[in-house]
Every structure is written in structure tokens, then in C-alpha cells.
Structure 1
Amino acid sequence: MVSLSLSDKGFYLLSLLMSCIVVMRYKILSKNTYIKLAFRYVLKKCDFNYKICIVDIDSFYSFGELLDVIEYMDIEQNVFLMKGISVHSKVLAPITAFDRDDGLSEILCCIKNGRSMTWADIEDYIARVQELSMMTEKEKKIAIAVAQHSNISAVATFLNANNKTVYSRVGVIARKLNLQHVTEVRQFIRIEIA
């Protein structure tokens, strides 16, 4: 008998893929058992002519994990991203189909009307976010400095800039990432960029 040793990353991906509930033409990617069971119930009651995949963004620690899972998915699936409360959910909010707090009728309407993405569209969007392509070079430098320093004063000193200037630039960066404050920007940059 051959024993396979998987890296932590490989083991994680395998366990996540195996934890997917596959219901006929549906896949639900979530670590949350209640979400999986709820969608299983909802999707059994609906009849769709296409393959769909529901992705709970909060089940992924980073975009890298999500991209690793995408490699194993069926390209023909219509993907519905479900927004949660994590920083990554907020960053992906412009391409999410529905929120985890939305009502059942809203979610069903969204799925029936086909407000979905393709895996390629999701990969492209994530790649642009990871490159910080929506930011100027100065904003990228400030974002990375925010991740490296514990407070705005330290960032301002490091960049040889005024505190007020750094605060306003961080506000612009947060808006571009669909975040609200410096702590979320710091958390996102530390996980995805730095």
C-alpha cells in the first residue's frame, strides 16, 4: 500500500473540494455547514438548465486559495459569489451576486436571472486586484507602507509625508478596494500583497 503525503496547501485544497456538496448540476463551495445545507435545500427546489457553483467568499483565507480551487472547477459553470463579512468579501463586492444576509426570494431571483460570473472573469478580476491596478504608483507605495507599519504616524515618517496627506490617501485606497478604514486596508495588503 502506497502512502501519499500531501503538503498543507494540497491537503487543504483537497479537503475543501471534497467538502463541496455536489447536487446534480450544482456545487456549493463553503466551509459553513449551514450554508451548504440551506443551498442544497434551495437548489433541489429549482430547475436550472445550466451548471452553477455557489462560492462563499468567507470560506477562503486569501485570493490565492480561491484561485487554487478555480483550477479544478468546470469552466462551463455559472458562478455566483456570495458576499460575507470578511475583508475579501468586501473587496469582491462589485462582482458578488448576493449577500449571505439576503432573503431567499432575492437569492432565487438572482440565480434564476443568471447574474453570474465565469471562472475566467473572476480570475481576471482577482488578478487586477492583486496587482493593485486601480491605484497609482504612489498609492501602491502607501498601501504597502501601511501594511508594514503599525500606525499612520509611522507611515508618514517612513514616506516623509504629512499625517493628513497619508490619512487622505489611505481613504482613497480604501474606497478603491471597497473597504472602510485603515485596519481593513492593512489586513488585505498583508494577506494578498506583502
Structure 2
Amino acid sequence: MNLPALDEKTRLRLGIGLAVALVWLFVLLELSEQLGEARTLEDRLQREIARNQAVAQETYWPTFRAEVHQRLDEFRAHAWREESEGLVQARFQDWLRAQLSGHALVVRDLVVALPTPLADEALAPAEIRQVRARITLDFKPDALHDWLTELAESPHWVWVERMLVTQRGNPRVEMELTGLFIIGVSGDHHR
């Protein structure tokens, strides 16, 4: 069959037929791809349903939930409480100065940063914030040891994140501490 020998109408019909066939092939390929994605999604959802059904059949969840709430209550009980971020900073700074002067540690520099949310907000209550302090002290080993021991036994959540002791020249200690606060509720300022 020679295309130039075909009349114009026949060539038009063949062209339209070829275009329709190409569009039909494209639609079939697209539907095939979507069908594959739907099957993959169905498989994933079936696995998730099976996993959720297995979890639902476990009997320890109420006990686990009670333990989580108990630990969360303990967590909140050990956090300081203040009405605003500025009061959080002031209280943490005042408490640190009082603690350090009580152990005859000379503070050369004390900077308290603004409170920030905890690193993993999904696992922590929304109202709890962490506040960080950077302290530079004159190095007195026995006094520092006594203070760190007392800090570990504190009823509040305060911990040392970094500590650097410099022995050259004038011995110094640089520390970064973090404390937990609940903002929005004032607490006892004398603890």
C-alpha cells in the first residue's frame, strides 16, 4: 500500500486513527501506572491494618498509659513554674547565683538565654520549656564538686550539658546548664 496513492480522505482517517490509537495507548499506560500505585498503597494499608489489629489485641496498653501519665506528672512536678519567659530567665539566674555563692564559687560570667521548646516537641508537653545558662567560674575543685553533688540531688530538673576546665593561668570552669520550666503558672519562688 503506497501512501501517496491513497486519497486525502483515507490518509486523514489513518492519521486520526493513529492519533486515537496513540492517545488510547497513553491512557492505558497511565491507568496501568495508577493501578500499580493503588496496589502498592493497598498493600501498605493492609500491613498497617494488620499491625494496628495486633496492637489493639495487646492487653498492657491501659497499664502502660497509666505509667506514662504517672511519669508525666513526676516530670511536671520537678519543673519550675513561672508566668512569663522573662521571669523564667530571672528566676533561673537568681537561683544559680544563690547556689554558686552558697558554695563560695566566684561567678565571672552568667548568661541565661530565652526559654525554648524541648528538642523533641512531639514527645514533650507543650507548656514545658528549657532554659539554658552559660556560666564562667573560678575553679575551686572541692567547692565545685560539692555544688555539682547538690545539683544532682536538686528537686528540680537541672543538668550540666557541657563543662570545660581550663588550668592555665587563672583556672576557670565554663559550664552550660539547662533547666526545665512550665510557663504560664507561677510557682513557689523560694524552692
Q: TM over 0.5, yes or no?
A: no
Higher strand share: 2
Q: Which has the higher helix share?
A: 1
Q: Scaled by the length of structure 1, what TM-score is found?
A: 0.27
Structure having the higher Rg = 2
Higher relative CO (Cα under 8 Å, sequence separation at least 6) belongs to: 2
TM-score with structure 2 setting the length:
0.27
